[in-house]
Amino acid sequence: MSLVAPRSVRRPLPRWVEIAVLPLVNVALAFLVVGIIARTIGVDSFHALKLLLVGAFGSSESIGYTLYYATNFIFTGLAVAVAFHAGLFNIGGEGQAYIGGLGCGLAVLALDRYLPGPLVIVLAILAAAAFGAAWAAVPAWMQAWRGSHIVITTIMFNFVASALMVYLMVNVLIAPGSMTAQSRGFAESASLPSMQAVLKSIGIAVAPSALNLAFVLALLSSVAVWIFLWRTSWGYALRTMGHNAEAAIYAGTSIRRMTMLAMCLSGALAGGVAVNELLGVHHRIVLDFPAGYGFAGIAVALMGRSHPLGIVLAALLFGALQQGGAELSFEIPAMTREMVVVIQGLVILFCGALAHLPRPWLQALFGRRG
């Protein structure tokens, strides 16, 4: 019997408009603004758009790179989403991915000379997840037992991770005689096969790209996250906590344990970035491989509405923008990489933050039956 207002402000649109037209209008609006900006710096905006799209999807190589970038975004998007479903804002994906890389790399460096490759790969993936989880577990513990806010601590842990990695890379793990702060290369057998090699073995020829089996791992993780969140009692308890912590307490869920579980899973997923980057591409531990994917994961999760399928699709969009954007600045020098970041930002702005901007217009068009 209450007349509380906020929910009512959004009036219903026909379902097909909600699902199909609204997002399309959002993307179109974003590209409209991009086009205007491109025009003002003297670039033919249609040509630029074409370059962007062809750069992202025009060849098997560009699709490979798009999917490779998407892999990172899927992992970090899932990481943010899992924590988000538990009502926790994990800003630490960056650091968790970084430390995940440490675990992944240490496992390979320690074992690749003694164990068969596939076994090393499996252990390295587990190590990436375990180290990522451990790095997330500390802020989780501090929130659950000491009341330190997880947003603050995870941000701080990004810096700690970065400093720790630089120290280890420069002083301990650096390959002897190396000019640069990177570890020795992993044994050939202990690297994740590239997608090109895998497809070749089943008779499909594609151009070489950074795409590797980590992409498959990312897709499997998405399915696993979906099953976990919506088909297990743990996921149920986790979501209950996220939506309504008091109801979770009422239901007998330990908030502390669930905070730990959610953050550890989140960190483990962030560790997937290390699998893609180190095990799949660089084949050694390098500095700064998380390159902002951890932060971008927040936007990916936001755009994907924290649903694994949404995250995969949002990650594809982000991957396409990253790859297409690189090609764009490659072909048109005026479109510097800063411009590409602007484009990416606009798409995120219109599809995420301003997702409901065109709603009133669409309502005027379609909302009559409301």
Q: Does 4 bind other proteins (CB under 8 A)?
A: yes
Q: What part of residues 79-118 is at the interface with other proteins (CB under 8 A)?
A: none
- Burial of residue 271 (CB within 10 Å: 0-12, 13-18, 19+) is buried
Q: Is 4 left (phi over 0), alpha (psi -120 to 50) or beta?
A: beta
Q: Does 32 bind other proteins (CB under 8 A)?
A: no
Report the interhelical angle of 93-111 vs 150-168 (nearest 10°).
40
Residue 172 or 202 having the CB closest to other proteins: 172
Q: What part of residues 306-325 is at the interface with other proteins (CB under 8 A)?
A: 307, 309-310, 313-314, 316-317, 320, 322
Residue 151 or 164 having the CB closest to other proteins: 164
Q: Is the dihedral of CA 99, 101, 105, 108 positive or negative?
A: positive
Report the interhelical angle of 22-40 vs 359-366 (nearest 10°).
130
Q: Is there a contact between 342 and 35 (Cβ–Cβ < 8 Å)? A: no
Residue 115 or 339 having the CB closest to other proteins: 339
Shortest Cβ distance from residue 167 to other proteins (Å)? 7
Residue 150 or 169 having the CB closest to other proteins: 169
Which of 146, 202, 333, 364 is in the footprint of other proteins by CB under 8 A?
A: 333
Binding mask 161-200 for other proteins (x = CB under 8 A): -xx-xxx--xx--x----xxxx------------------
Q: Is there a contact between 64 and 206 (Cβ–Cβ < 8 Å)? A: yes
Q: What part of residues 43-82 is at the interface with other proteins (CB under 8 A)?
A: 47, 49-51, 53-54, 56-58, 65, 68
CA gap 226, 69 in Å, rounded: 21
Alpha-carbon distances, residue 80 vs 69, 101, 144, 308 (angstroms): 17, 18, 18, 11
Give the range of 5-13, 36-44, 119-127, 131-139 binding other proteins by CB under 8 A. 5-13
Residue 5 or 202 having the CB closest to other proteins: 5
DSSP 212: B
Q: Is there a contact between 75 and 273 (Cβ–Cβ < 8 Å)? A: yes
DSSP-derived secondary structure for 247-266: HHHHTT--HHHHHHHHHHHH
3-state SS, residue 46:
helix
Q: Does 362 bind other proteins (CB under 8 A)?
A: no
3-state SS, residue 365:
helix
Residue 180 or 189 having the CB closest to other proteins: 180
CA gap 103, 115 in Å, rounded: 17
Q: Does 147 bind other proteins (CB under 8 A)?
A: no
Residue 115 or 240 having the CB closest to other proteins: 240
Q: Does 254 bind other proteins (CB under 8 A)?
A: yes
Shortest Cβ distance from residue 259 to other proteins (Å)? 15
Residue 104 or 115 having the CB closest to other proteins: 104
# residues near other proteins by CB under 8 A: 96
How many other CB atoms are there within 10 angstroms of residue 348's CB atom? 22
Which of 304, 346, 348, 358 is in the footprint of other proteins by CB under 8 A?
A: 304
Q: What part of residues 269-288 is at the interface with other proteins (CB under 8 A)?
A: 277, 281-282, 284, 286-288
Shortest Cβ distance from residue 9 to other proteins (Å)? 7
Which of 78, 107, 285, 326 is in the footprint of other proteins by CB under 8 A?
A: 326
- Burial of residue 113 (CB within 10 Å: 0-12, 13-18, 19+) is exposed
Which of 78, 104, 303, 346 is in the footprint of other proteins by CB under 8 A?
A: 303
Q: What part of residues 194-253 is at the interface with other proteins (CB under 8 A)?
A: 209-210, 230-234, 236-237, 239-240, 243-244, 246-247, 249-253
